[in-house]
C-alpha cells in the first residue's frame, strides 16, 4: 500500500493529542471542505465527529465480525422510538478520549464544550419509553451483549416546543438538516415492504391450501447504521434505522403524457412513511400512517434478522436459539403475524411449527396500564392495509380460543376478554393480547406495575399462562446520567472510590459511609452548587428569569400529562405563594420551582396546564412582596440535552403521579442518582427507590394504588367537600377561577376547575393535596439544615446502584433472552 495512505490509516486510529489534532485539520479540509478560518462551530462539530467516528470503525467491524464468526445468539430490540440525544460527548467518554480531544482542540484554539453545543439532539422518541431504549443500547454494548436496535430514521424528531404568550406552540424539529455524521447509509441493505392488495388462495406443491399476498403496493426500507459505543470502547454494537424509499418503478413513468410528474409526486408521498415521529402520548388507534410505520420497520427488521440467521442455517428450527426479539411496547407487535407470514407463506414452514418458533423468539414489554394507550387497530383498517396479517391474526385467535374454550367452561365473558378481537362497537385488534399470546415472556417495568398488570389488563391471560408475566424494573445508564452529565460529582466520587462505579454502579454504595464525613459533605454540596449555577445560567438564558442559586431547586421534568399531576405541583406553589405573602416577616426557605415538559399537540388539558404554569409564574416572579423567595420557571423544549443540565442540579425530585398510573418512571432514578431527594407517591419505581434509599431519605405522601382503586370503586369521593374543607386549596382554586393569573381571560381555566369538581377529579389532585403540602413543608424544613439534607442526598446517590440499566439489561439477558456476553476479537492493531 502507498506509504502515504498507510500513514493516514494509522493516523485515523491514533488516540493521542497530536494524532487527533492532525485528524481534525485534515477532516476539516478534505471532508467538510472548509478552511480553518472560515469554519463555523457546526463545521467543527462535523469535523470532530467524523474524526471520532474513524476511531471506532475498526472495533465496530471487529464486534460485528466476532458475532458472525461465533454465530452468537443476538438480541434484537425493536422500538419505534430511540431518544438518544447528542452522541459526541458520549462517544468520547465511552472511548476514553475526552481529555485528549479537549487538548487537541485547545491547540487549534477551540473549546470542546462549544463544539459539543453544535450537535443537534437526536429526539427520535416521546419520553420514557424512547429514552429507556437508548439507555438499553448503551448497556448492551457496555455489557458486551450482542444486541441490535431496530427502529425508524425519522426525518423529523419530536417537535420543538416554544411558548408564545405562555401557550405551547409546536415547530418541526430538523435534526438532519445539516447531515448526521454518526450514521452510515446502507443503500444496498434494502427490503421490500408491502401494503394493501389482497390474498389469493392456491394449492401448494403437495396439494395443501396456501396463500399469497398479491396486487400490493411496495415500499423499500433502506438501512442507516449508527455505531453504539460501549463503555471502554471494546464492544461497538449497531443501531439500524429504516428509511422509506420509493421503488425504482417510478423512474419508468412516461415523460410525455404528464405521468412523470405524477410519478415523482407519488415518490414523495411514499417516502412520507418515515418522515415524522408521532407525538402522541396516548395512541389514537385510527391513524393509518402510524400503523404503516409500525409494520414498515417491523417487517424490514424481521427480513434482516432472517437473512442474518440464514447465513448459518438452512432451516428455522434453531431460530429461537439464535435470535431473541424484544417488542418495546405493542408498536412492533404486528411482527408476530409477520414472522408467521414469512415462515409459513414464504419459507413453507408448517403452521404449528412456525407458531412454536415465533413464540419462543418474541418477548414483549408493557409500559402502560392506561386503557387509552393500549393499541387497538380497527379490523377494517387492518384488513385493508395488511390483509394477509388480518387472516393470520384470525387464525391465531381461532386456535387459541378453541383451546381455551375447553377450559373456560362456558364463561363467554372471559373468552371475549381473551380474544385478539374486541367485538364491542367497531371491531378492533387488541395488540396487547396479540403481543402477549405471541411471546414466551411478558414483562412490566417496575414491581408494582407488574403486579397491577397481573391484576388488571392481563388478568385473564395471567390465569391462562401464569409463568409468562415477569418484572424487569427499569434502569438508567450511569455513563450518560452521572459520568457525563454531572462531571463535578463524578470527579468527586472517583476521587474517593475510584472509577469502577462507571461500569459497575453497585460500587457507588461505598459512598454511604462518607455521608457522615463533614469534609465529604462540603465537597458534595460544592459539586451540587456548581451544577445549580450552570442550571441558573441556563434558566436565565431560556426564560429571562433570575433564580437564586442557594434556593431549593424543586424539579418536575417529564411529559405533561394529567396523571403526572403537574397541576398538583402548581397548586401547591400557589398555596406557598399565599403563605409567603401572608407572613412576610417569616424567614422563608427560598424555593425555585422548575418545570419542563412537552404536551401532545392535541392534548388540550395538558396544554392548558402549561399555560397555567406560565401564567402563575408571571405573577409570582414579578411580585416584590415575596422577596424573591419563590420563583417559578417552565423551561421550553425539554429534551435529553436539557435533562443533562437539569438532573445534576436538582435538590428535590417531583414524582407525584396518581398511584397506580406511572408504570415506572426513569427521571425519578436520574434525579435520585444525582443526589436529589424524592417527594413522591408510592407509584411505579418510586416504591423500589424507597426500598433502596430508605424511608428516612425520601418524602412519601398520598393515596396508595390500592386506596386509589378502592376509592374509585366505592365512588365515595367528593372533591367539592375536600376543597371546602381545605382553605388553602380553596383559596388557590378561587384565585384561578377569578382570573388572578389570567386577568385578560378570567374564564380561561374553567376546564381545569371543572375537571377537579364536576368531573370528579379523576386524578385525585384534591384528594392528595393536603398530604402533599405537608410533605413539601417537611422538605423545606429539612432544607434549612444543610448538613442533614446533604447527608440524605449522599445516601440517595450511594443507594441508587441497583437502578443502573446494566442491571436491568443483564436480567433481560439471563431471564428472558438467554443471550450471553461475547468479547470482540481484535486482530493485531498494527496489521497492514
Ligand atoms: C413510559 N411510557 C411510562 N410511553 O409512562 C413510564 O412510566 C416508564 O418509565 C417508561 O415508559 C419506560 O418504561 C412512555 O413513555 C410513550 O411515550 C408512548 C409513545 C407512543 C404512544 C403512547 C405513549
DSSP label at residue 53: H
Question: Residue 831: its pLDDT value, please?
Answer: 44
- pLDDT digit string, tens, across residues 407-449: 777 889 999 999 999 999 999 999 999 999 999 999 999 999 9
From residue 55, alpha-carbon distances to 8, 16, 233, 540, 541 in Å are: 12, 11, 10, 38, 35
Q: Exactly one of 55, 558, 593, 692 is catalytic; which is it?
A: 558
User: Residues 446, 664: contact at Cβ < 8 Å?
Assistant: yes
Q: What percent of the chain lies above the pLDDT cut of 90?
A: 91
**335-362 average pLDDT score:** 98
Average pLDDT, the chain: 95
The C-alpha cell at 279 is 407525538
* Atom of ligand 1 lying closest to residue 684 CA: 7
The C-alpha cell at 41 is 462551530
Where residue 373 falls among pLDDT bands split at 50, 70, 90? Answer: confident
Task: Name the residue ranges covered by the structural domains of the chain.
Answer: 71-86+121-472, 551-799
Report the residue count for the chain: 832
**607 counts as catalytic:** no
Q: How many Å apart are CA 433 and CA 469, to the nearest integer? A: 13
Longest pairwise C-alpha distance within the chain: 92
Measured by CA distance, the residue closest to atom 6 of ligand 1 is 665
SS3 state of residue 431: helix
**186 counts as catalytic:** no
- pLDDT digit string, tens, across residues 253-288: 555 567 778 888 889 999 999 999 999 765 555 699
Q: How many Å apart are CA 619 and CA 597, to the nearest integer? A: 21
- pLDDT digit string, tens, across residues 590-622: 999 999 999 999 999 999 999 999 999 999 999
Classify each residue of 777-798 as buried b or exposed e, where b means 16 or more C-beta atoms within 10 Å of its C-beta: eebbebbeeeeebbbbbbbbbb
Residue 10 has pLDDT above 70, yes or no: no
Residue 2 has pLDDT above 80, yes or no: no
SS3 state of residue 184: strand
Q: How many Å apart are CA 155 and CA 638, to the nearest integer? A: 19
Which residues make Cβ contacts (< 8 Å) with residue 686, sequence separation at least 6? 655, 662, 665, 668, 678, 680, 698, 700
Q: What percent of the chain lies above the pLDDT cut of 70?
A: 96
From residue 145, alpha-carbon distances to 35, 231, 305, 309 in Å are: 42, 12, 16, 17
Classify each residue of 225-255 as buried b or exposed e, where b means 16 or more C-beta atoms within 10 Å of its C-beta: bbbbbbbebbbbbbbbbbbbbbeeebeebee
Q: How many Å apart are CA 443 and CA 326, to the nearest integer? A: 10
Question: Residue 830: its pLDDT value, please?
Answer: 46
Which residue from 127, 450, 599 has its CB within 8 A of the most atoms of ligand 1, so it is best to mutate?
A: 127
Which residue from 129, 284, 374 has its CB within 8 A of the most atoms of ligand 1, so it is best to mutate?
A: 129
Q: How far is the CA of 495 from the centre of ligand 1 (A)?
A: 36
- pLDDT digit string, tens, across residues 551-587: 999 999 999 999 999 999 999 999 999 999 999 999 9
Q: How far is the CA of 128 from the centre of ligand 1 (A)?
A: 5
From residue 333, alpha-carbon distances to 289, 350, 383, 809 in Å are: 16, 21, 16, 21
Select from 3.40.50.2300, 3.10.20.30, 3.40.50.2000, 3.40.50.720 the CATH code of 71-86+121-472. Answer: 3.40.50.2000
* Atom of ligand 1 lying closest to residue 132 CA: 12
Q: Exactly one of 153, 479, 532, 564 is catalytic; which is it?
A: 564
Q: Exactly one of 267, 359, 367, 440 is catalytic; which is it?
A: 367
DSSP label at residue 30: I
551-799 fold: Rossmann fold (3.40.50)
**88-96 average pLDDT score:** 96
- pLDDT digit string, tens, across residues 196-220: 999 999 999 889 999 999 999 999 9
**564 counts as catalytic:** yes
- pLDDT digit string, tens, across residues 791-812: 999 999 999 999 999 999 999 9
- Angle ∠(234,810,355) on CA atoms, nearest 5: 110
Q: How far is the CA of 164 from the centre of ligand 1 (A)?
A: 27
Question: Residue 281: its pLDDT value, please?
Answer: 61
**558 counts as catalytic:** yes
Tell which residue, 55, 237, 255, has the closest CA to residue 141: 237
| Alpha carbon 9 to chain centroid, angstroms | 37
Question: Residue 284: its pLDDT value, please?
Answer: 57
Measured by CA distance, the residue closest to atom 18 of ligand 1 is 281
Q: How far is the CA of 185 from the centre of ligand 1 (A)?
A: 29
- pLDDT digit string, tens, across residues 650-668: 999 999 999 999 999 999 9
Q: Examine domains 71-86+121-472 and 551-799 and report if their fold is the same.
A: yes
Measured by CA distance, the residue closest to atom 2 of ligand 1 is 129
* Residues in the ligand 1 pocket, defined by CB under 6 Å: 126-129, 132, 280-283, 367-368, 373, 445, 474, 662-666, 684
Q: How far is the CA of 127 from the centre of ligand 1 (A)?
A: 6
**198 counts as catalytic:** no
The C-alpha cell at 760 is 370528579
- pLDDT digit string, tens, across residues 721-737: 999 999 999 999 999 99
Q: How many Å apart are CA 291 and CA 617, to the nearest integer? A: 40
**151-178 average pLDDT score:** 97
Which residues make Cβ contacts (< 8 Å) with residue 393, sequence separation at least 6? 337, 382, 420, 421, 429, 434
Measured by CA distance, the residue closest to atom 11 of ligand 1 is 129
Residue 789 has pLDDT above 90, yes or no: yes
Amino acid at each position: 500500500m502507498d506509504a502515504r495512505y498507510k500513514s493516514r490509516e494509522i493516523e485515523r486510529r491514533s488516540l493521542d493529542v497530536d494524532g487527533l489534532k492532525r485528524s481534525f485539520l485534515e477532516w476539516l479540509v478534505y471532508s467538510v471542505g472548509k478552511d480553518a478560518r472560515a469554519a463555523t462551530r457546526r463545521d467543527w462539530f462535523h469535523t470532530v465527529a467524523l474524526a471520532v467516528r474513524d476511531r471506532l470503525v475498526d472495533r465496530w467491524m471487529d464486534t460485528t465480525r466476532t458475532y458472525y464468526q461465533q454465530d452468537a445468539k443476538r438480541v434484537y430490540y425493536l422500538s419505534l422510538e430511540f431518544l438518544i440525544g447528542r452522541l459526541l460527548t458520549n462517544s468520547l467518554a465511552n472511548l476514553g478520549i475526552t481529555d485528549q480531544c479537549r487538548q487537541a482542540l485547545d491547540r487549534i484554539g477551540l473549546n470542546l464544550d462549544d463544539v459539543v453545543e453544535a450537535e443537534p439532539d437526536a429526539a427520535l422518541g416521546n419520553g420514557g419509553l424512547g429514552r429507556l431504549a437508548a439507555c438499553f443500547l448503551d448497556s448492551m454494548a457496555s455489557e458486551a451483549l450482542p444486541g441490535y436496535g431496530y427502529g425508524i430514521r425519522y426525518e423529523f424528531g419530536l417537535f420543538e416546543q416554544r411558548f408564545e404568550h405562555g401557550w405551547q406552540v409546536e415547530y418541526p424539529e430538523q435534526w438532519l438538516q445539516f447531515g448526521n455524521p454518526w450514521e452510515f447509509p446502507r443503500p444496498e441493505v434494502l427490503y421490500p415492504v408491502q401494503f394493501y392488495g389482497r390474498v389469493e388462495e392456491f394449492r401448494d406443491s403437495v396439494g395443501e391450501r396456501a396463500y399469497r399476498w398479491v396486487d400490493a403496493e411496495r415500499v423499500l426500507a433502506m438501512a442507516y447504521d449508527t455505531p453504539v459505543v460501549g463503555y471502554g470502547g471494546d464492544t461497538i454494537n449497531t443501531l439500524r434505522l429504516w428509511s422509506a424509499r420509493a421503488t425504482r418503478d417510478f423512474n419508468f413513468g412516461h415523460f410525455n403524457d404528464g405521468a412523470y410528474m405524477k410519478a415523482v409526486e407519488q415518490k414523495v408521498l411514499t417516502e412520507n412513511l418515515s418522515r415524522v415521529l408521532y407525538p402522541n402520548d396516548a395512541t389514537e388507534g385510527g391513524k393509518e400512517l402510524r400503523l404503516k410505520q409500525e409494520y414498515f420497520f417491523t417487517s424490514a427488521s424481521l427480513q434482516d434478522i432472517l437473512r442474518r440467521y440464514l447465513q448459518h442455517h438452512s432451516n428455522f428450527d434453531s431460530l429461537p436459539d439464535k435470535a431473541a426479539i424484544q417488542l418495546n411496547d405493542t408498536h412492533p407487535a404486528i411482527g408476530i403475524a409477520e414472522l408467521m407470514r414469512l415462515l409459513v407463506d414464504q419459507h413453507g414452514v408448517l403452521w404449528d411449527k412456525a407458531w412454536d418458533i415465533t413464540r419462543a423468539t418474541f418477548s414483549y414489554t408493557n409500559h402502560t396500564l392506561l386503557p387509552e394507550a393500549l393499541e387497538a387497530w380497527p379490523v377494517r383498517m387492518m384488513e385493508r392495509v395488511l390483509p394477509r396479517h388480518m387472516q393470520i391474526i384470525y387464525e391465531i385467535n381461532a386456535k387459541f380460543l378453541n383451546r381455551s374454550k375447553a377450559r373456560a367452561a362456558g364463561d363467554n365473558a372471559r373468552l371475549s376478554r381473551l380474544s385478539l378481537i374486541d367485538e364491542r362497537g367497531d371491531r378492533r385488534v387488541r395488540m396487547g393480547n396479540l403481543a402477549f399470546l405471541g411471546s414466551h415472556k411478558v414483562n412490566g417495568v417496575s414491581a408494582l406495575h407488574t403486579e397491577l398488570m397481573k391484576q388488571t389488563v392481563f388478568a385473564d391471560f395471567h390465569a391462562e399462562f401464569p409463568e409468562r408475566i415477569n418484572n424487569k424494573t427499569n434502569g438508567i445508564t450511569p455513563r450518560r446520567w452521572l459520568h457525563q452529565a454531572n462531571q463535578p460529582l463524578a470527579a468527586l466520587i472517583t476521587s474517593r472510590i475510584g472509577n469502577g462505579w462507571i461500569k459497575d454502579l453497585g460500587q457507588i454504595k461505598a459512598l454511604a459511609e462518607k455521608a457522615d464525613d463533614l469534609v465529604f459533605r462540603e465537597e458534595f454540596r460544592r459539586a451540587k452548587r456548581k451544577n445549580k449555577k450552570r442550571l441558573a445560567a441556563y434558566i436565565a438564558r431560556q426564560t429571562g428569569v433570575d433564580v437564586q442559586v442557594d434556593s431549593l431547586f424543586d424539579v418536575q421534568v417529564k411529559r405533561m400529562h394529567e396523571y403526572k399531576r403537574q397541576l398538583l405541583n402548581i397548586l401547591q406553589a400557589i398555596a406557598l405563594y399565599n403563605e409567603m405573602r401572608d407572613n412576610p416577616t417569616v424567614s422563608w426557605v427560598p424555593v425555585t420551582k422548575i418545570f419542563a415538559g412537552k404536551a401532545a399537540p392535541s392534548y388540550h388539558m395538558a396544554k392548558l396546564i402549561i399555560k397555567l404554569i406560565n401564567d402563575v409564574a408571571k405573577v409570582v416572579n414579578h411580585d416584590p412582596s415575596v422577596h424573591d423567595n419563590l420563583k417559578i420557571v417552565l423551561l421550553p423544549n425539554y429534551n435529553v440535552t436539557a435533562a443533562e443540565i437539569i438532573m445534576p442540579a436538582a435538590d428535590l425530585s417531583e414524582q407525584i403521579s396518581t398511584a397506580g398510573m406511572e408504570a415506572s418512571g426513569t427521571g425519578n432514578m436520574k434525579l435520585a442518582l444525582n443526589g436529589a431527594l424524592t417527594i413522591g407517591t408510592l407509584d411505579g419505581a418510586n416504591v423500589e427507590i424507597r426500598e433502596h434509599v430508605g424511608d428516612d431519605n425520601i418524602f412519601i405522601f398520598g393515596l396508595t394504588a390500592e386506596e386509589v382503586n378502592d376509592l374509585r370503586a366505592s365512588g365515595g369521593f367528593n372533591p367539592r367537600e375536600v376543597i371546602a374543607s381545605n382553605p388553602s386549596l380553596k383559596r388557590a382554586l378561587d384565585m384561578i377561577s377569578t382570573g388572578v393569573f389570567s386577568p385578560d381571560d378570567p374564564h380561561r381555566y374553567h376546564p381545569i376547575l371543572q375537571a377537579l369538581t364536576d368531573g370528579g377529579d379523576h386524578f385525585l389532585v384534591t384528594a392528595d393535596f393536603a398530604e402533599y403540602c405537608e410533605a413539601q413543608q417537611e422538605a423545606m424544613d429539612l432544607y434549612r439544615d444543610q448538613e442533614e439534607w446533604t447527608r440524605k442526598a449522599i445516601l440517595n446517590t450511594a443507594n441508587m446502584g441497583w437502578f443502573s440499566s446494566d442491571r436491568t439489561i443483564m436480567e433481560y439477558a439471563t431471564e428472558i433472552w438467554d443471550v450471553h456476553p461475547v468479547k470482540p476479537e481484535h486482530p493485531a492493531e498494527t496489521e497492514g
